[in-house]
Structure formats: C-alpha cells, structure tokens
C-alpha cells in the first residue's frame, strides 16, 4: 500500500535524520491516485529522493520522476527482466517517454482508462511531441474512478487527457464545459485544462465516420459511396457507440442499436432517433443487404482475440464492417467480414484520426500527420 502524505513525510524525515545522502522509498499503488502523494513528498523533500510506486497503477511514478524532481528512476534491461512489478524497460523510458529530457516545465498528458496497457497513445503522442519540439509527455493512467482521478490530479501540470473505455460518459459529467458536438453525443474522449477549467471534446465521431466514408468511396462499387439512407447497425451503447450512432444519423443513415443491456440500447436509440434491438437478435438480423456494421465494444480485443460479437453467417448482409478494436489490427470480426465479402475497416484508422484531433486540441498546433500514421502502422 501507499501511506498517507503525513506518514510518507515522516518516513523521509526519519531516513534523512540518520545522515542519508539520498533517500529512497518504494510503495505499492492500490489506486493511481496514491501516486499523487508520493509526487508531493518528492517535490517537498529537502534531500535527493527516489520515490517509486510499484504495480501497473504506479507506473506514472517511474515515468514522471524527473518532472517532479526525483533523483532517479529505474528501468528493466528488457521485457521479462523487470526487478519490480510495473517497471518499464530502459528503452521505453529513454525513447518513448524521453525521461532524460524531462524537466519541471514538461506538460503532462495521458490516457485514462481501464484497461489501458494496450493503448498505442504513448507511442504516437510522445513521438509527435518530439517531432514538433513540444515540451510534453503522454502517459497511461490505469484508473478506477474518473471523478476522483480528476480531483486528485487537478494541478496545472496535468494539462490534458485522452479518455477511453469505460469513462467517456463519466468524463462528460466531470467537465466544467463541453463542446457542443460532445454534448450532443453524450460522451467525451478528450479533456484539456484551460484557465483552470476542464473542457471536454469528442474526436471519435469524426474519426470513425470519416474512416467509414473514405472506405466506401475507395470501394469498387459506386453505389456504396454514401451512408445516406443506409441501414447502420451499431453494437454497443457506451461512449464510442454514442459517437458512431450520432455521426451516422448526421449523415442520413437509418441507425439500429444492439447492446447487451437492452435498456441502454433503447435510451441511446431514443436520443438519436434510432431503433434498438436486443444483442441476441443480431445473429438473425438481416432485414436487407448492403448494411453497415460498427462494433464499438471491446469484444475481440487482446487477449480475447477469438471472441466476436456476431456470427459469421449473418455478415454476408453487410457491405462494410467497422471494428473499433485495434489490438489486434485484424480482429476475428474483420477477418470473417472480409471472408463474407464485406469491406473491413480497422479501428486503427479511427484511432489514428482521433489521435490527430486530440493532439491538435492538446497543443494548439498542427499535428505531424504523416509521422503519426507511420508510427502507428509500424507498431500495429
């Protein structure tokens, strides 16, 4: 566990009192918010201090040590050679997070989610920061409670956040101001701290819909160029599901929502003027051909790569299938969709586009789009 701030301070003082040249303390994170107490103690320590927090929720203590004045941090020589839980590798510390270039003025951005270890966000954003010479770092936050997290990490050092499953709806309720598009969707995937306020945006909608439309335009079938009038089936009623349903409706599609919790499906359907069906009906739902399917759930995400939200037999009714999951890049759903003759659109394309939108909100500068796309393609 991680003691209270008072207990940590007393412990550091006791170690210092015996004449220590460098103080080192190590705790374990039960929650990511535990790390904030350790950062506070390091900042106010009167002697060089190493303070690290073990476990996945304590990872940021290792990544942000230079930012808060830590004497040093530890990295494993390689994957599988960690000497403590949650320890990053030396290459991650120096190449992805650039700890040797970090200082007290470095702005901190990051992705908030649970799970979050699969995210490609740190790879793409940190490289983009370096490309434009922006003094910032992007880290993963494994969070249990969105509101508590934002209340604890409320300082100006924590400049902005990407938001992923399952917090996109919680994020909207936690923001002081919300962009009209995000408000209409009912979900926030991007938060920026501006003048002490948390401002929420949604870059998922434009990213996903544009990826689907571009795939239709590039297909060899001229009739498939538009979403207008097409039946658009959304699996999932969470934040991403709301974004896809809203975006498709805005393009003139006829939207159907299928969700494990049918009541949530009905609520979303009512809010966007769509139809709701129970998830179990999806395997027999074939009212017409040429439909578009969008999976916005985590079904099929690593490590459960053999899972799929819909049986293969019904996929022949769809002309295009989109999967928001991007780890792996080609999910079972997309593989079976191609086998059924549908256009397959990976969540990786949505991820790249929404990340570009987030980066420009974070920095106020134009994103290095070519670099970001190249990096994600290489690391898919």
- The share of the chain scoring above pLDDT 90, in percent, equals 91
Element holding 49 (H helix, E strand): strand 49-54
Compute, in degrees rounded to 10, the torsion defined by CA atoms 202, 207, 209, 212.
-160
User: CB of 102 within 8 A of CB of 157?
Assistant: no
Measured distance CA(373)–CA(207) in Å, rounded: 13
121 CB-near residues (< 8 Å, 6+ apart): 110, 111, 138, 140, 162, 355
Asked whether the CA dihedral 64, 366, 296, 333 is positive or negative, the reply is negative
Q: Model confidence over 63-75: pLDDT tens digits? A: 999 999 999 999 9
In this prediction, residue 209 carries a pLDDT of 97
In this prediction, residue 326 carries a pLDDT of 87
Q: Does position 249 have pLDDT exceeding 90, yes or no?
A: yes
SS3 category, 179: coil
In this prediction, residue 225 carries a pLDDT of 64
Residue 176 φ/ψ region, left for φ over 0, alpha for ψ in the -120 to 50 degree band, beta for the rest:
alpha
Measured distance CA(319)–CA(342) in Å, rounded: 5
Q: Does position 324 have pLDDT exceeding 90, yes or no?
A: yes
Superfamily for domain range 1-84: Aldolase class I (3.20.20.70)
Residue showing tokens 């908030």: 112
In this prediction, residue 190 carries a pLDDT of 98
Position 221 confidence tier, pLDDT thresholds 50, 70, 90: low
Active-site residue (options: 168, 242, 249, 266): 168
Measured distance CA(160)–CA(357) in Å, rounded: 13
Q: Does position 223 have pLDDT exceeding 70, yes or no?
A: no
For domain 205-351, which CATH number applies: 3.40.50.12500, 3.40.50.720, 3.40.50.800, 3.40.190.10? 3.40.50.720
Q: Does position 222 have pLDDT exceeding 90, yes or no?
A: no
What would the mean pLDDT of 31-42 be, rounded to a whole number? Answer: 97
pTM comes to 0.89
Residue showing tokens 């009192």: 17
Q: Does position 183 have pLDDT exceeding 60, yes or no?
A: yes
In this prediction, residue 224 carries a pLDDT of 54
Q: Does position 85 have pLDDT exceeding 90, yes or no?
A: no
Using H for helix, E for strand and C for coil, what is the string for 115-146? CCCCCCHHHHHHHHHHHHCCCEEEEEEECCCH
Both tokens assigned to 293: 């399917």
* Residue ranges covered by each domain of the chain: 1-84, 205-351
In this prediction, residue 327 carries a pLDDT of 86
Position 84 confidence tier, pLDDT thresholds 50, 70, 90: confident
Using H for helix, E for strand and C for coil, what is the string for 222-272? HHHCCCCCCEEEEECCCHHHHHHHHHHHHCCCEEEEEECCHHHHHHHHHHH
Q: What is the DSSP letter of 111?
A: E
Strand partners, 234: 257, 294
Q: Is 168 considered catalytic here?
A: yes
User: CB of 265 within 8 A of CB of 277?
Assistant: yes
Q: Model confidence over 124-156: pLDDT tens digits? A: 999 999 999 999 999 999 999 999 999 999 999
In this prediction, residue 251 carries a pLDDT of 95
Q: Does position 25 have pLDDT exceeding 60, yes or no?
A: yes
Q: Does position 96 have pLDDT exceeding 90, yes or no?
A: yes
Q: Does position 212 have pLDDT exceeding 80, yes or no?
A: yes
- Mean pLDDT over each residue of the chain, to the nearest integer: 95
Q: Model confidence over 250-274: pLDDT tens digits? A: 999 999 999 999 999 999 999 999 9
Q: Model confidence over 155-168: pLDDT tens digits? A: 999 999 999 989 99
Q: Does position 220 have pLDDT exceeding 70, yes or no?
A: no
CA atoms within 13 A on the CB side of 221: 12
Whole-Å CA distances, 180 to 184, 201, 202, 238: 6, 8, 9, 18
Closest CA to 204 of 69, 334, 66, 357: 357
Whole-Å CA distances, 129 to 123, 164, 192: 10, 21, 16
Both tokens assigned to 39: 């950062």
């Amino acid at each position: 566990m991680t003691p209270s701030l008072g207990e940590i301070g007393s412990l550091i003082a006791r170690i210092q009192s015996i004449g220590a040249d460098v103080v080192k303390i190590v705790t374990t994170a039960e929650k990511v918010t535990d790390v904030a107490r350790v950062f506070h103690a390091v900042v106010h320590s009167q002697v060089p201090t190493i303070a690290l927090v073990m476990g996945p929720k304590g990872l940021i203590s290792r990544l942000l040590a230079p930012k808060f004045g830590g004497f040093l941090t530890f990295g494993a020589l390689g994957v599988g050679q960690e000497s403590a839980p949650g320890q990053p590798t030396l290459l991650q510390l120096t190449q992805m997070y650039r700890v040797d270039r970090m200082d007290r003025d470095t702005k901190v951005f990051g992705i908030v989610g649970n799970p979050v270890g699969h995210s490609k966000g740190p790879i793409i954003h940190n490289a983009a920061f370096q490309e434009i010479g922006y003094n910032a770092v992007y880290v993963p936050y494994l969070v249990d409670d969105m509101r508590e997290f934002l209340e604890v990490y409320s300082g100006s050092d924590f400049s902005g956040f990407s938001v992923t499953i399952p917090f996109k709806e919680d994020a909207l309720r936690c923001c002081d101001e919300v962009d009209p598009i995000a408000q209409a969707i009912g979900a926030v995937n991007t938060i920026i701290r501006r003048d002490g306020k948390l401002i929420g945006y949604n870059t998922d909608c434009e990213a996903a819909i544009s990826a689907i439309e571009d795939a239709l335009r590039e297909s060899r079938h001229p009739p498939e160029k538009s979403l207008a009038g097409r039946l658009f089936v959304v699996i999932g009623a969470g934040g991403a599901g709301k974004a896809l349903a809203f975006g498709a409706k805005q393009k003139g599609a006829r939207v159907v929502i299928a969700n494990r919790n049918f009541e949530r499906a009905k609520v979303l359907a009512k809010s966007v003027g769509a139809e709701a069906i129970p998830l179990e009906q999806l395997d027999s739902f074939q009212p017409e051909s040429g439909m578009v399917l969008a999976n916005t759930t985590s079904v099929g995400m690593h490590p459960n790569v053999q899972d799929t939200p819909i049986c293969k037999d019904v996929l022949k009714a769809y002309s295009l299938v989109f999967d928001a999951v991007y780890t792996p890049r080609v999910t079972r759903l997309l593989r079976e969709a191609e086998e059924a003759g549908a256009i397959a659109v990976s969540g990786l394309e949505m991820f790249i586009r929404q990340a570009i939108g987030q980066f420009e909100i974070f920095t106020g500068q134009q994103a290095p789009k070519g670099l970001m796309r190249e990096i994600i393609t290489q690391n898919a």
